[in-house]
Amino acid sequence: MEPLLLFPDPAPANLVQALELAGYGWRAASMVEQAAAIEPIEGWAGAVISVDEDADAGYALCRALRKREPVVQPILLMVSGQQVGDLQVREDLFDDFCLTPFRPAELQARLEHLLVRSGRGTRPELVEHGPLALNLETYQAAVEGRPLDLTYMEYELLRFLATHPGKVFTREILLSRVWGYEYFGGARTVDVHVRRLRAKLGEEHANLIQTVRSVGYRFGQPKWSL
């Protein structure tokens, strides 16, 4: 999919992290001339304009994007709570808005809805479980929007467990399914990686990976059946 245009430049770090986790490409600009200079040949997929820092410049860019041909749409505004009352007189400048500070899940949902409605959206392949989100295309993971700094095998173990929630796996099965049949390391390898994953998930979310005594590990809650 074509990249999104972000305002301002440099773009807010938390906004960039949320978009990259969701699999969206982007380029940032602070003026319409800069936006035109960096515009890809295929055009913009849309724009995310943050006006909570420099409202005048942000709205000016929105006007320019609306007047040009072809029109850049959709446009998602990032606004503070104090600015919501001003939006009624500017409804022609944007397609939707998101309050700052934002929740990454809400931002992704609003942006996805806008892009799908405009015919340009393609939802990246995600695995989501409560606060955890895994992007299977970019090998990124986050909990409550906080990016996790995972090694390749930590990510692969977390991905395997998260795609089989509620199912118990022995250490031997995890070794063969995640590390591969040709891996000669012992079962302690699994324990070490689980311990590291729990530390990176944080104390509040460490219990996403549960220990089943004398058996192995399970992700999330078990699925009970009658």
pLDDT along the chain (226 residues), means of 10: 92 92 91 92 93 93 91 92 88 92 85 78 73 85 89 91 92 87 71 94 94 92 49
Q: Which residue ranges does the chain devote to CATH 1.10.10.10? A: 126-219
Contacts (Cβ under 8 Å, ≥6 apart) of 216: 168, 169, 170, 171, 173, 174, 190
43 close to 1: Cβ distance less than 8 angstroms: no
**b/e burial code for range 178-211 (CB count within 10 A of at least 16 → b):** bbeeeeeeeeebbeebbeebbebbeeebeebbbe
What Rg, from alpha-carbon coordinates, does the chain have? 21
Residue 176: per-residue pLDDT = 85
92 close to 59: Cβ distance less than 8 angstroms: no
pTM: 0.59
Residue 212: per-residue pLDDT = 93
Neighbours of 103 (CB within 10 A): 13
Q: Thinking of the domain 126-219, which architecture would CATH place it in?
A: Orthogonal Bundle (1.10)
Residue 138: per-residue pLDDT = 78
User: Six-digit token pair at 62?
Assistant: 């929105």
* Chosen CATH of 4-117 out of 3.30.2130.10, 3.40.50.2300, 3.30.9.10, 3.40.50.300: 3.40.50.2300
